[in-house]
Chain A
């Protein structure tokens, strides 16, 4: 029996290290990384077939973080999984660091599958990887994390169309549906609803979950794994989740805490 509370504790640790590394960096994006901490915890400590010591293991599942600005939660998850020493998290966004502001393959940080940061590329890359797996007759999967604002990029829908065309049952997309983006609410900046109907119309299976509820995320992945066509999980999250005073506030998309705030935020995470 899976102990959800262990994963919940892990998610807290990941959030704390996200805050610490961003405070240290002095710039970056806090909101999405906190909002995605539960999903990353489930991915790296439950769902993904991966081996931290063998980052080029051929049969590994691939995780594509299409929203590259959520790099901190990826880096922290990789460090906690054992891909590199957590001390290196302190180098985030600094000169010469393998932890670039947005993930960059050429710095050879173990566990980073591709460069990302220009929105609208990730799902296409995931499609290319999923097709390659089918050519190679391997049975692993590709997971792709998209932002909800990112869905305004037309190229995402080109990719969605092609995934359904090739019936990629080894592809799982996760939409970080926090309903906000830099300029404000997605409904005001450029409405993306009705999201479920859009994905269904493009030939995908659609699941929804509370993206900040570990048990609910696990349930969705368990269902997604059995699907015979590409599946998207619309994960309802809160930007800044875990720190009540910033939860849901789009102004924390591209902000980082100072030392005092960081301390306060970490206390809030420990005490919930």
Chain B
């Protein structure tokens, strides 16, 4: 089983991964949007000042500048809060990055409600939905700091085109092994089980593991799957899980519309329908508060996953 090696913000993984891939690949550039340290680009800027370019608070420009660099054989990363990275410059991402199909890597920081006290304006809860609808875009949503580091490196080594990498601000359990195999597009079965599959992404993967522990006491053998790649999604693994366990609960720190739950439902409804529940933000804006207070209030905890599993596995 997995143990928490210490709470760490997933943005730390991005920070370290970016430096590691930049050391290996001279074409990697970093574009700053004023909040470089807050989004984990500060270490890169310090180590590679000649490859770091500050663009200030101008997301539309930064996205299309990145496209121009990628059209010139560079691999630019730009990173800002996920709300701005995906929405303020959505048209630039759609046309100049995705339609051009160039290797721009977008760091979506402050993902989820666990951003906390900054409140709803800064909590990215729609970013997966927007990014996964764009042709050519790869969407990564790693589950902890270690995996975010690996995912950041993989966004260059395994992805030839545009890539969105989602990560958070608050400290959450860091529990995966640094050597855990990471294949873009392939889900990971973190715990095998036969009664229900909990398919989770991002911070909710740890909650899913906690839920599985609790369910064991109720004699429910839950399988836990980490979907770190929302797009292209691991269709085969999801169908296989539905066939094996006959019930699915998804969990994400994102709106219930358009995110992981929707992606899983799109597959199951077409290829192997089984009873399913979606745990996520209930179609509303967040608010200020401590990360754990907000996760509790909006139903994004192991307890909520357990309730949804009980709903399916022990129907009234």
Q: Judge: A and B partners, yes or no.
A: yes
Interface residues in chain A, defined as those with a beta carbon under 8 Å from any beta carbon in chain B: 104-106, 113-118, 120-122, 124-133, 135-136, 154-155, 158-159, 161-162, 166
Contact A115 B96, CB 8 Å, known A125-B71, A131-B53, A158-B60: yes
Chain B nearest CB from A248 CB (Å) reads 30
What range describes how many residues of B lie at the interface?
Answer: 20 to 34
Contact A127 B61, CB 8 Å, known A132-B73, A166-B53: yes
Contact A125 B61, CB 8 Å, known A106-B101, A113-B71, A133-B72: no
Q: Are B92 and A128 in contact (CB under 8 A)?
A: no
B58 contacts which chain A residues (CB < 8 A)? 155, 158, 161-162
Chain B nearest CB from A57 CB (Å) reads 13
Contact partner of A125 (CB less than 8 A), chosen from B29, B96, B101, is: B96
A131 contacts which chain B residues (CB < 8 A)? 53, 65, 68-69
Q: Are A115 and B100 in contact (CB under 8 A)?
A: yes
B62 contacts which chain A residues (CB < 8 A)? 124
Q: Are B100 and A128 in contact (CB under 8 A)?
A: no
Asked if B66 is an interface residue, CB under 8 A from chain A, the answer is yes
15 examples of A-B residue contacts, CB within 8 angstroms: A114-B96, A117-B95, A124-B60, A124-B63, A124-B67, A125-B71, A128-B66, A128-B76, A129-B68, A129-B72, A131-B53, A132-B74, A159-B65, A161-B61, A162-B65
B99-122 interface bits toward A, Cβ cutoff 8 Å, 1 = contact, 0 = none: 111000000000000000000000
Contact partner of B68 (CB less than 8 A), chosen from A120, A124, A155, is: A124
Query: Which residues 56-88 in B have Cβ within 8 Å of A in the complex?
Result: 56, 58, 60-74, 76
B63, B69, B70, B76 interface centre (most CB from chain A within 10 Å): B69
Q: Are A125 and B95 in contact (CB under 8 A)?
A: no
Once A and B bind, how many residue pairs between them come within 8 Å at the CB atom? 104
Asked if B2 is an interface residue, CB under 8 A from chain A, the answer is no
Q: Are B64 and A121 in contact (CB under 8 A)?
A: yes
Q: Are A115 and B72 in contact (CB under 8 A)?
A: no
Q: Are B60 and A128 in contact (CB under 8 A)?
A: no
Chain A nearest CB from B285 CB (Å) reads 26
CA distance A128 to B96 in the complex (A): 12
Chain B, Cβ-Cβ closest to A128: B68
CA distance A136 to B72 in the complex (A): 10
Q: Are B61 and A104 in contact (CB under 8 A)?
A: no
A126 contacts which chain B residues (CB < 8 A)? 68
Contact partner of B99 (CB less than 8 A), chosen from A106, A125, A127, A166, is: A106
Contact partner of B60 (CB less than 8 A), chosen from A105, A114, A122, A155, is: A155
Contact partner of A159 (CB less than 8 A), chosen from B53, B64, B71, is: B64
CA distance A106 to B53 in the complex (A): 28
Asked if B55 is an interface residue, CB under 8 A from chain A, the answer is yes
B266 contacts which chain A residues (CB < 8 A)? none
Q: Are B69 and A129 in contact (CB under 8 A)?
A: yes
CA distance A121 to B98 in the complex (A): 13
Q: Are A125 and B91 in contact (CB under 8 A)?
A: no
